Copies of this chain bind each other. A is one copy, B any other.
Amino acid sequence: MNVNGKHYRTIWIKENDPSTIQVINQIVLPHEFAIMDLRTVEDFRIAIKDMYIRGAGLIGATAGYGMYIAALTSPENEFESFIEESGKILAATRPTASNLVWAINRQLEAMNSRSIRAEKIKIAHETAIAIADEDAEFCRRLGDHGKEIIMEISKRKKGETVHILTHCNAGWLAFTDYGSATAPIYAAFDAGIKIHVWVDETRPRNQGASLTSWELGQHGVPHDLIPDNAGGHLMQHGMVDLVITGTDRVTRNGDVANKIGTYLKAVAARDNNIPMYVALPSSTFDFDLIDGVKNIPIEERDAGEVRFMTGKTVDGRIETVQICPDSTPARNWGFDVTPARLITKLICERGVCDASESGILGLFPEKK
């Protein structure tokens, strides 16, 4: 995707410096576009935990590069223990993200397949790049599958604008490129289909307001920012044709963990007979888990994210303001789980399937 006309991914190895990984600093978006250098495991830990980078695919790709940097910076005689410890440190940053553990394990396996340190570093380097490249390629492919769904609705509406509601940022900023929820949107827009996106602001961290709005604006996709509270009203009044979200983890039976509030949109979509799609690259599946509401651990984050808001003042300063009384306590769960019964279809790089064990295994028979 382009930023100010120049092509970017969200993570890459610095030109002429293989010991530095660069990422887009997503905390200062949308008010500033800045690049951040990551050189140590501690840099990666902070970048993931404090959400300088975020989003299912990008967390995985960052963990992949993090393990490569772990290998590169490991003490000569303590390679194994340093790598193991680094994997644990990175895995502990975001408990809900299955891509994180997936990428770390893929790196551990790759390194275990080699015996000499230099070779381990080399394969970690290759694997990190492969994880990032696959992430972009999978998003591109699922975008094509999702585009077909939007095109069908557009045909049914005789070319009238298709209104798509999305929650949080499952955009290209959440992956290495294209995005998951946004990939069908960009593909449909680029194919000339008339679309318009309702962007949930996505409290408390406002990823919709700050990131999805920014992305869609950069690409020229028509959109409007709305409070998270508005989607039900829009659905009741025929102003939403479909919902597409991303996800941080999908269980074997099709339950979907995604940003807190996704479930509310899914249950309202069902109440209004509006299709609810979830787009994901296959790395987001957790084939070992069933019953997501019961079994997916939900991260509880700092209450300050609810009590304070950060933005830009009219004279361009970045300020943080408190929106409740000094003594008000707050709680802050990061995700909720939408049961499979409320999902119309899952959109994956291999195609579109029912949110059910049989539907998912139909696309991924090797997991039977």
Q: How large is the interface on A (under 10, 10 to 19, 20 to 34, 35 or more residues)?
A: 35 or more
- Interface positions, chain A 195-222, Cβ under 8 Å from B, are 199, 201-204, 206, 209-210, 213-214, 217
Q: Is A223 an interface residue (CB 8 A)?
A: yes
Q: Does A329 contact B (CB under 8 A)?
A: yes
The reply to whether B268 and A236 contact each other, CB–CB distance below 8 Å, is: no
Q: Cα distance A51–B334 when bound, in Å?
A: 32
The residue on B at minimum CB distance from A222 is B329
* Contact pattern, A 215-246, Cβ under 8 Å of B = 1, otherwise 0: 00100000111111111110011000000000
Contact of A306 among B227, B321, B322, B328 (CB under 8 A): B227
| Copies of the polypeptide in the assembly | 2
Interchain CB contact under 8 A, A321 and B319: yes
- Chain B CB within 8 A of A273 CB: no
Measured in the bound complex, the distance between the Cα atoms of B271 and A93 in whole Å is: 32
Per-position binary interface string of chain A over residues 41-61, scored 1 when its CB falls under 8 Å from any chain B CB and 0 otherwise: 000000000000000000000
Across-interface contacts of A298 in B (CB, < 8 A): 233
Query: In the bound complex, do residue B324 and residue A264 qualify as a contact, i.e. CB atoms below 8 Å apart?
Result: no
A337 CB–B CB distance under 8 Å: yes
Task: Report how far A263 CA is from B229 CA in the complex, Å.
Answer: 9
The reply to whether A230 and B260 form a contact with Cβ atoms under 8 Å apart is: yes
Does any Cβ of B come within 8 Å of A293's Cβ? Answer: yes
Q: Which residue of B lies closest to A293 (CB)?
A: B236
**B residues less than 8 Å from A308 (CB atoms):** 311
Asked if B321 and A310 make an inter-chain contact with CB atoms under 8 angstroms apart, the answer reads yes
Give the residue of B223, B233, B264, B307 whose beta carbon is less than 8 angstroms from that of A260: B233
Q: How far is the CA of A200 from the CA of B30 in the complex (A)?
A: 26
A335 contact set on B, CB distance < 8 A: 233
In contact, A336 and B225 (Cβ under 8 angstroms): no
Chain A interface main SS type: mixed
Quick one: given A30-B325, A319-B321, are A236 and B337 in contact (CB under 8 Å)? yes
In the complex, what distance in Å separates the CA atom of A163 from the CA atom of B182?
37
Asked if B201 and A227 make an inter-chain contact with CB atoms under 8 angstroms apart, the answer reads: no
Is residue A191 within 8 Å, beta carbon to beta carbon, of the partner chain?
Answer: no
Is A330 among interface residues, defined by CB-CB distance under 8 A? yes
Q: Is B217 in contact with A204, judged by CB distance below 8 angstroms?
A: no
List the B residue with the shortest CB-CB distance to A229: B261
Chain B CB within 8 A of A14 CB = no
Which A residues from 313 to 330 make CB contacts under 8 A with B? 313-314, 318-325, 327-330
Q: Is A350 an interface residue (CB 8 A)?
A: no
Cβ of A114 under 8 Å from chain B: no
A332: interface (CB < 8 Å): yes
> Contacts A227-B260, A232-B336, A233-B260 known; A314 to B320 CB distance under 8 Å?
yes
Q: Is the CB of B311 within 8 A of A309?
A: yes
CA distance in complex: A213, B30 (Å): 30
CA distance A203 to B236 in the complex (A): 19
Any B CB within 8 A of the CB of A155: no
- In whole Å, how far is A316's beta carbon from the nearest beta carbon of chain B? 10
A331 within 8 Å of B by Cβ? Answer: yes
- The chain B residue with its CB closest to the CB of A329 is B224
Other than the given A225-B331, A229-B260, A313-B320, 4 more pairs (CB < 8 A) read A210-B325, A232-B267, A309-B321, A321-B321
